[in-house]
Amino acid sequence: MELSEVTYDDPDDESGEAAMRTYARRACELTGMDPEFGVPALATIALRESASNHPRWRVNTNDSNAHGPVVADGHPQNCSRGATQCIPPTFAAYHQEGTATTPYDVVACMCATINYVRARYGVNRSGSNFAERVQQADPDRPPKGY
């Protein structure tokens, strides 16, 4: 999708680890990733990036991405957003057709994350190397941005 098609409405999806696992399972279904690998990887990313989609951490206004024109949610366009903290250009580029157009939608954000890590880090279709290739998805290694 085009960056101009990204919307900034927050559907106020649930937060917490159990909710992240449910959303991750749906994202795996939509992208063809094996939930055995995708669910724990995405839940780990969500925990580290947004405290499992806690309302306070759904948008990051303090990192190096926090610049650009102010958009509909009142924050600079390139702020990281959503459970897995996609910046809008990345969300748009890796958007999963048929999902919401806002990175605040957990399933849409997680689908974009899956598509991104496949392209950027060489995560395979099944996701069996997700935690190996993306340190932020590996609960046995220290956090590291992705």
pTM beyond 0.75: the answer is: yes
Q: Is 75:59 a contact under the CB 8 Å cutoff? A: yes
Q: Is 36:101 a contact under the CB 8 Å cutoff? A: no
Tokens of 122: 């060489």
Mean pLDDT score, 120-140? 98
β-partners of residue 86 are 81
Q: What is the pLDDT of residue 13?
A: 98
Q: What is the pLDDT of residue 38?
A: 98
Mean pLDDT score, 34-61? 98
Q: Is 123:134 a contact under the CB 8 Å cutoff? A: yes
Distance CA 78, CA 66 (A): 5
- Give the percent of the chain with pLDDT over 70: 100
pLDDT digit string, tens, across residues 64-104: 999 999 999 999 999 999 999 999 999 999 999 999 999 99
Tokens of 39: 């669910």
44 contacts: CB under 8 Å, gap ≥ 6: 131, 136, 137, 138, 139
For tokens 């897995």, what's the residue?
Answer: 84
Q: Is 10:102 a contact under the CB 8 Å cutoff? A: yes
Which candidate, 5, 95, 10, 96, places its Cα nearest to that of 53?
10
Write the DSSP symbol of residue 137: G
